[in-house]
Structure 1
Amino acid sequence: MEPLGDDELLYIFNKIPCYDWEDKRSFAQVSKRFMKVAYFGKHRLHSCFPDLLFDILPSSPNVRKFHCNKPLSNNHLKLLAQSCPNLKLLDLRPAQDLDPPEPGEFEFDFDDDGLCAVANACNRLCEVHLNRRLHVGDAGIVSLATSCKNLTFLNLKGCIRVTDDSLKAIGESDILNLNLEGCYLITDLGLEYLATGDLKNSLQHLVLTECDRISDHGVIHLNQIVGLTDLNLSKCGVHVTDTGIVALLSQLPNIEILDLSWLINVNDISLLAIGSKCLKLKEIYLSGCEAITTQGLRAFTGHEALKRLVLFSCYNFSWEDVELFALSCIRLEYLGLMKRIKTTMPETNIVYLRTGDDCCGIDWDEDSRTIFW
């Protein structure tokens, strides 16, 4: 009896009901030939075993979404580029993204050579996640930004080799969502590149957490990105102050989510400007901004859009101030507070305030370091 051909194996595989994943997995485990056939029609490939990719990828021309949370070599990425030209989503975030990688885990990971191969061959990419791929630098990011004209989501969290040169290329793209958390080589010049190119007409979500080489001078440039709705400047260091925040937010009427956590030189002056200018603001995070007082809190009195306010590690106001403010905000749903404010709450077990027909939940924290550090 002659062995079954690939067409016959594919016919058998397609007879397995689409919802019966256990049988499909069993089919793929019979042999490498069976595995290749099983992956031929897949649009999404999630691999935790990079060594198997050399067998799987050549038989996966229809893959649109590729996920892998393990170290990959340049050869892996070059094979991906060759095998999956219609790729739209590339998700290479390592497992357990909140934890640092194990020592040496990504020592032999891919670099710009592999990423450039993917960018040049897979120019339909729309969404790319490269969290903590430590060998990726400007050459690979520039290639992505210039070759992939449909790119709308770029996540570079923890890509420590990325510099202002990458931001110059990104600034000429139409990306909607950009995450630069932990890209600590970025400076004010990079922010200027973002704000003066085509990106200023498209960008809606920007994360700059831990980019502590930027200052008010760079932050002010961002006020040209008028469509920005979500901005994260948390832990950006001592050189971001009220001067930059006030100048920035006076020109961003569409901002809905704002994170200024741990900017120790931001105080009531910023909050007065935010409360009066940012009328669409729904969420604001101010943990660690210890200079905020009653005056700053009152800046949001009567705000018609605010739903979430977080003030962990802020102590310079009383429970009466909180209650007065909260009862005036008809949409408020959540408050994050410290128990060590000036005047403690009247009931130690209070977990919500009733605001009209709705309730505002309260999260009390003894020590914010348990959450943020």
Structure 2
Amino acid sequence: MAENEISLFDISWVDVLFQRVFPYLSLKDCYNFRCVSKSAQELVDNYFFVMKNVNLSSYRSFNATSFKVLAVNCHNVRYINLSHCKWLTDDLLQQLFLNNNHMTYLNLSGCSETLTSVCLQPVIVLCKDLKYLKLQNCFWLTEGCMEALALHHHNIEEVDLMFCWRLNDSCVSNLMRSCCRLRLVNLSFIFALTDITMIVIGECCKLLEHLNIKGCWRVTDRGISAVAVGCRFLKTLFIKECKFVTEHSLGIIRGRVYIDMPRQVTMDFFDFIAQMPSPPLPIMEYIE
């Protein structure tokens, strides 16, 4: 290359390449370019340092070795989506979380193969800006982890704990008390939950708009009534497979809230008799 020629690496990295070029590249493109030369590796690593989003949910071939590059170099990530990355370990995640304690969005849904609650320790202690937490199907999530999360976090607006079977009324209620700004709560198929949690939601989550408690069969009309009275901004309620919830409580909010269970038609004995078809005349009346 002639001395007066300009290469890609001479263009301003921060003002031009990181703003106008790299956002259009996939992670696969970045990793391929990183292998070209030492200068390319340095350029990509510097981009990872300022990168805001890490989304590996669609990368089924991603592995731990590649992830270490992100964990070491990323320091300004705000959005982290690692759903269904079953190769993740506690050590890999902790390194990423320690370097990115200003993240606002975290999705670990479906990462249940090798993880434990230990991976969330940096998130609990350091990531005070967290607003969106999705831990669907994270069977490793424990009661103690939730208690610690409730102790340290107060700004969470959306939480998804679907199928987190180890949780109970005590730890979930404490999280509801701590995070009064919650707008979306998914507690579906946490079978230990009862009206206790629903009452706390009605008392503390005044801004709640979306609630999913599908499959929480211990919840009754008493709990739903508390939510109906306390959560005035509620827009959707998913309540299927809650066999003790009836129209007695759902009728309070039906009309202003979308409910995934149709209206239950009740009929007393006298209405039932009135709608029965008239019996045929006795056969003797037809005989002249």
After TM superposition, the score normalised by the length of structure 1 is 0.59
Alpha-carbon separation, structure 1, partners of 2:98 and 2:246: 46
Partner of 1:147: 99
Please say which structure displays the higher CA radius of gyration: 2
- 1:182-221, aligned counterparts within 5 Å? 182-197=137-152, 199-200=153-154, 202-221=155-174
Alpha-carbon separation, structure 1, partners of 2:93 and 2:146: 16
Q: Deviation per CA, 1:273-321, whole angstroms, max 9, x where unpaired?
A: 001111111111112212211212123157xxx4422127xx8x2189x
- 1:225-304, aligned counterparts within 5 Å? 225-236=179-190, 238-300=191-253
- 1:130 has 2:82 as partner: yes
The structure whose residues are more often strand, as a share, is 1
Gaps of 5+ in 1: 11-36, 63-79, 96-104, 321-342, 344-373
Partner of 1:171: 124
Alpha-carbon separation, structure 2, partners of 1:301 and 1:91: 38
Would you say the 8 A contact 2:163–2:189 is kept in 1? Answer: yes
Would you say the 8 A contact 2:185–2:210 is kept in 1? Answer: yes
Would you say the 8 A contact 1:271–1:299 is kept in 2? Answer: no
Partner of 1:318: 265
Q: 2:73 aligns with which of 104, 113, 121?
A: 121
**Could you tell me the percent identity over the aligned residues?**
19
Q: Deviation per CA, 1:160-194, whole angstroms, max 9, x where unpaired?
A: 13332233322231211111011111111111111
**CA, structure 1 residues 53+300, in 2 after alignment: closer, same or farther (shift >3 Å)?**
same
Alpha-carbon separation, structure 2, partners of 1:134 and 1:144: 16
Partner of 1:354: none
Would you say the 8 A contact 2:48–2:70 is kept in 1? Answer: no
Would you say the 8 A contact 1:119–1:148 is kept in 2? Answer: no
Q: 1:45 aligns with which of 16, 21, 25?
A: 25
Give the secondary-structure state (helix, strand or coil) at the position aligned to 2:49: coil
Would you say the 8 A contact 2:101–2:123 is kept in 1? Answer: no
The structure whose residues are more often helix, as a share, is 2
Q: Report the alpha carbon displacement of residue 44 of structure 1 after superposing the two structures with TM.
A: 3.0
After TM superposition, the score normalised by the length of structure 2 is 0.75
Q: Size of the alignment, in residue pairs? A: 256
Partner of 2:282: none
Alpha-carbon separation, structure 1, partners of 2:100 and 2:31: 28
When the two chains are superposed, the root-mean-square deviation of aligned CA atoms in Å is 3.4
Gaps of 5+ in 2: 10-16, 273-288
Q: Report the alpha carbon displacement of residue 126 of structure 1 after superposing the two structures with TM.
A: 0.9
Q: Report the alpha carbon displacement of residue 226 of structure 1 after superposing the two structures with TM.
A: 1.2
Alpha-carbon separation, structure 2, partners of 1:9 and 1:195: 48
Q: Deviation per CA, 1:74-122, whole angstroms, max 9, x where unpaired?
A: xxxxxx6466322111111136xxxxxxxxx65xx523x6545423421
Would you say the 8 A contact 1:258–1:283 is kept in 2? Answer: yes
Alpha-carbon separation, structure 2, partners of 1:154 and 1:299: 35
Alpha-carbon separation, structure 2, partners of 1:266 and 1:50: 49
Q: Report the alpha carbon displacement of residue 261 of structure 1 after superposing the two structures with TM.
A: 1.0
Q: Deviation per CA, 1:136-159, whole angstroms, max 9, x where unpaired?
A: 132233333332132111111111
Would you say the 8 A contact 1:155–1:180 is kept in 2? Answer: yes
Q: Deviation per CA, 1:35-74, whole angstroms, max 9, x where unpaired?
A: xx9xx93323225679845547964877xxxxxxxxxxxx
Give the secondary-structure state (helix, strand or coil) at the position aligned to 1:41: helix
Partner of 2:48: 84
In structure 1, give the amino acid aligned to 2:58.
P
**CA, structure 1 residues 147+49, in 2 after alignment: closer, same or farther (shift >3 Å)?**
closer
**CA, structure 1 residues 87+301, in 2 after alignment: closer, same or farther (shift >3 Å)?**
closer
**CA, structure 1 residues 301+191, in 2 after alignment: closer, same or farther (shift >3 Å)?**
same
Alpha-carbon separation, structure 1, partners of 2:51 and 2:36: 15
